[in-house]
Structure 1
Amino acid sequence: MKYFKTPPVRGFSLIEMLVGVLIISFGLLGLVTLQARALQASTTTEDSQRATLLANEMAAIIINANDVNVDQTTIVKPWADRASAPDRGGLPGGTGTVTVNGNTARITVSWKPTGSSTDTYRYVTDVMIPQ
């Protein structure tokens, strides 16, 4: 019988371990960045949906009144105040305006996303009442 001499078993070298840790670190960093972007996109989408609901609410008021000239103090002002209050269904840094031009009312909802001092988002819709 012949016995074969097996080579000595060696472990990983320090350089191989460091390369492995580096690759795993880059992967984890990518996952954290992806999570942050997903959260930001989710917040932006939620704010856009709230702006749409606010504009839809004012459009419904105008359509139900069958007149684009709604009362500024009793209807538009409370709506605009609510649009600027995130705790009451509004938006962060939000403003709501209704501009009338003939038989068309332009409803504009603007807001600044939380944590951003330069970005401004805006949702605009027009409501026309035939005469």
Structure 2
Amino acid sequence: MKKLRETTHPHRAQAGVALLEVLVSVLLFSLGLLGLIGLQARAVSFSVDAEDRNRAALLANEVVALMWLNQSTTVPATALAAWKARVNDPKSGGLPNGDGQVDVAATAKSANVTITWQAPSQSTSSKLTTHVELPQ
């Protein structure tokens, strides 16, 4: 009878090991889940940045199209003011804290269109510059 009791005692040394294994696996699963959430947040941030850059390119293309239509790098003041207002208005397809500038070069056949903006979620501003060369 004593031998039977002695053989059951080694099982007590392993009591709770399964619970510890479950706790470790839950910890590892939680860390993996936190990593995935962090990746998702970065992906959303990159997506918003790409969307803003796309809008900036479209807005720059708008003023360049006006230049090509007028066959001059100088844009009429009313059209330029309306374009600048649109660049600064996110509700009408503009950018947050957007600012658009058109700098005509000395040759008057080339210009630089610069659009700057700062997304509320970013601490630094972004910038897009387009160079325009009109044919002689």
TM-score if structure 1 supplies the norm length? Answer: 0.86
In proportion to residue count, which structure has more helix?
2
How many equivalent residue pairs? 123
1:17 Cα deviation from its structure 2 partner: 1.7
Name stretches of at least 5 consecutive residues in structure 1 with no aligned partner: 1-7
Note the aligned Cα RMSD (angstroms).
1.9
CA distance in 2, matches of 1:65, 1:114: 36
Equivalent residue for 2:30, pick from 25, 29, 33: 25
Alignment identity in percent? Answer: 40
Structure with more contact order per residue of length (Cα contacts < 8 Å, sep ≥ 6) = 1
CA distance in 1, matches of 2:47, 2:86: 22
Matches within 5 A, 1:1-131: 13-72=18-77, 74-101=78-105, 102=107, 103-116=109-122, 118-131=123-136
Moved beyond 2 Å, runs of 4+: 10-14
Larger radius of gyration: 2
CA distance in 1, matches of 2:121, 2:32: 26
Letter in 2 for 1:109: I
